[in-house]
Structure 1
């Protein structure tokens, strides 16, 4: 710290001067007009030159100068001054150290953080291609915020309590600007569940319980961590208190996707294998060979539609009535994207999808069940597209049918990834042959049994019993 002693001393002197002002936003403006602030700016320029820390500077009247807004608001120094003016006992020594770290530390790479409505064990850290699924401790989160010294004094401490131990998918996104309080409605790109499908899909294929993205924001570690408490869905948990009274506590809503600690190694292995299969297919998106290029685009399209359906399904009983019919369309599009063949004609597509879906399952009973589910889904899809209403189902039956269709689509998705050839062969053609081939059980069946024996998801499919 001795190298930056002059910066630390300048900040301490400025904070001391702040103690004599009134605790109003205007007083902070007054503070940056005083000689003490000029000392801080000069010290920043000496300790963190623009060539090394361009994010700390702004152009004013043609000259590059330390950006007062960045140094005050993003670092938390301005908030420290306000608290001192209010008479709050602020650890000024730690504040000064945090500010020096803020100015002189390496510029962070912006990251996208997806906040999942799920529960994972403490210490979870799983690689999903470029992404990492991680649960953070309170100490780890404190080191990410710009001014850890103020955490216990600010409302942010409550924010961190809500998300301590919560699962996040995070990924480096160097080209993204770090904006303040980013929300779902970020028009710089597609919605997050579509943009980040390659990390979400393996988790969805691991467990059939619903997994949703509750909020997405940009993090620059040590610079910006503007989690809005409204982005954290909460629920009320009732505890039995003293004297028979019940205490109500607001806690994070963890949804239905829960992974126990004992399942974590198996989940990590499953995600590694599935991510590799997804990457292998997506490598064909730039390939000149048409079958590989189209296969990659079909995989992405199917994933986007199944994720769109997931994002509008809070739980099996939590589907908006006006959207229930529309969700059938998303699932059918996903099935078609996976099972259609470039050789198919417009006539008979529904029949082809039914037979190919059934070929992915083992045993006549499970194959017939797959055919029936797809047939009902196509009927519902046609009713919706033609402007009709599915009248022969009560709402609870419709939601039950949506769950059945979701589970089938997930199984088709997983088996498609397992069986899709690595070359230019067409899986749809192989499935068509399998329907008529008495050796279907040996070829498709053995590949599926091998996969589920070595890389089982949380729930083993009924048509593939344990060996």
Structure 2
């Protein structure tokens, strides 16, 4: 690769940009490419980054493969840098040339999915979650994810990177996928974000009783595209006093009520490691070729997806769209049913009884078991009325929100405790729960393993029934 010639061609091009016969404003990439002075840059790109090694930089025009202007001037940031110079702005020419050479000659990056979470976690967070990583970034680190970091905030569309300082991202690589999609809101294009990424989201949601949501999803190609747009970051206005004592409004990222303190990071990391290992163990059972492990893994996935689907439409502990309240209840009941029904065939008429009995058996005190059994019975009854077209029992909006919150917390604890207690062999947890419910070895089957897990791997809040038992 002849990178010195490419670097020199770019510096020469930038050095004469202020003399180009162009209007200072509204200069398009097509106008820049039409200038005779730009031809040496294109020739240098062909020599330094041939199509045989950098297919993504080329496109077919009239039967010939030529450098794509949308990549060479647009995606790379060279067009933005040139426009700044046409307007007599000061930019670092050599750093821009280095960034452009890196853009053209670096190996094609592996596309990644980046999920922006509605949460507040400490700066410097880096927690592995299987093939995912939960991580926060500084604005400078985010700028270096895309091309042309030398322009800093001078490049259009990068000013909102400051909103994402210490914002929590879940990111993962997609080996073998060619990324062509634009960044998008979770659920607005293709499958909902939580459906595809449930294995990484579930441990974080089981950690805290506060609702966690995916705010936006980005396709990222490091060094090529971060793709942030201003409207991809949900913001709210806040007010502060400037140095003159005057009120000033400014935008901040919505972080919601899901908070992790620096002191909690080690516990969160340990919790995520334990829960992720249990999820992986259940999912790995699908390779055994046996019917029960395969159905068990499928039920866990469906329970998680329905829980996450409900979480995506829960904006705070007591805030959901009234029109969706009944559907959220269905999601929670489906999540419970997926895990509390045996993977083996079961009598249909006993489903409701088995769900409430087994779910309540997962709790350690008689009072909590009674409360869970009553809540699950009410929810399952409402579910049956809904799907059969009957009128649901009238509740005030406040009562309905209270019911949904209680059901959400129960479903969350049921999934977590199911993961803790599910046998690592081919055993069926529902059989163990039935035995424990009948009073057979409850202490050894349920109570002791749950106490041991929460003592060694505490979540954000220690469960009250475990504490009291």
Please indicate the TM-score interval, normalised by the length of the shorter structure. over 0.9
Q: TM-score, normalised by structure 2?
A: 0.95
Of residues 417-426 and 169-178 in structure 1, the stretch that sits farther from structure 2 once superposed is 169-178
| 2:356–2:373 Cα contact (<8 Å) kept | yes
Distance 1:266 1:253, change over 3 A: same
SS at match of 1:348: helix
* Structure 1 residue 288: Cα displacement: 1.4
- 1:95, 1:242 → 2: CA distance? 35
- Residue 172 of structure 2 corresponds to residue 171 of structure 1: yes
CA contact (8 A) 1:18 1:31 kept: no
Q: Does residue 435 of the first structure (1) align with residue 437 of the second (2)?
A: yes
Question: Would you say 1:8 and 2:7 are equivalent positions?
Answer: yes
Q: Secondary structure at the match of 1:463?
A: helix
Higher mean C-alpha displacement, 302-311 vs 82-91: 82-91
Q: Counterparts of 1:391 and 1:102 in 2: how far apart (Å)?
A: 62
Residue in structure 1 matching 2:370, options 368, 371, 377:
368
Q: Which residue of 2 aligns with 1:18?
A: 17
* Root mean square deviation, CA, Å: 2.0
CA–CA distance in 2 between the matches of 1:466 and 1:344? 34
Pairwise CA distance, 1:224: 0.8
TM-superposed deviation, 1:315: 1.0
1:201 maps onto 2:177 in alignment: no
2 CA distance for matches of 1:174 and 1:46? Answer: 28
SS at structure 1 position matched to 2:266: helix
Unaligned runs of 5+ in 2: none
Number of aligned positions between the proteins: 466
| Contact 1:181-1:227 at 8 Å conserved across structures | no
Q: Does structure 2 retain, via aligned residues, the 8 Å contact 1:116–1:169?
A: yes
Secondary structure of the residue aligned to 1:42 is helix
Q: Would the aligned equivalents of 2:335 and 2:411 in 1 still touch at CA under 8 Å?
A: yes
In structure 1, C-alpha distance between the alignment counterparts of 2:364 and 2:268, rounded to whole Å: 24
Give the aligned partner of residue 293 of structure 2.
Answer: 292
1:280 match: 281
- Aligned counterparts, 1:49-60, within 5 A: 49-60=50-61
Change (3 A) 1:337 1:186: closer
Using the TM superposition, name which of 265-274 and 28-37 deviates more.
28-37
How far is the alpha carbon of 1:62 from its aligned partner?
A: 3.6
- Superposition deviation, residue 34 in structure 1: 3.5
User: How far has the Cα of 1:132 moved from its partner?
Assistant: 0.4
Asked whether the 8 Å contact 2:186–2:215 carries over to 1, the reply is no
Structure 1 unaligned spans of 5+: none
> Which of 407, 430, 453 is the equivalent residue of 1:405?
407
Q: Which residue of 2 aligns with 1:90?
A: 91
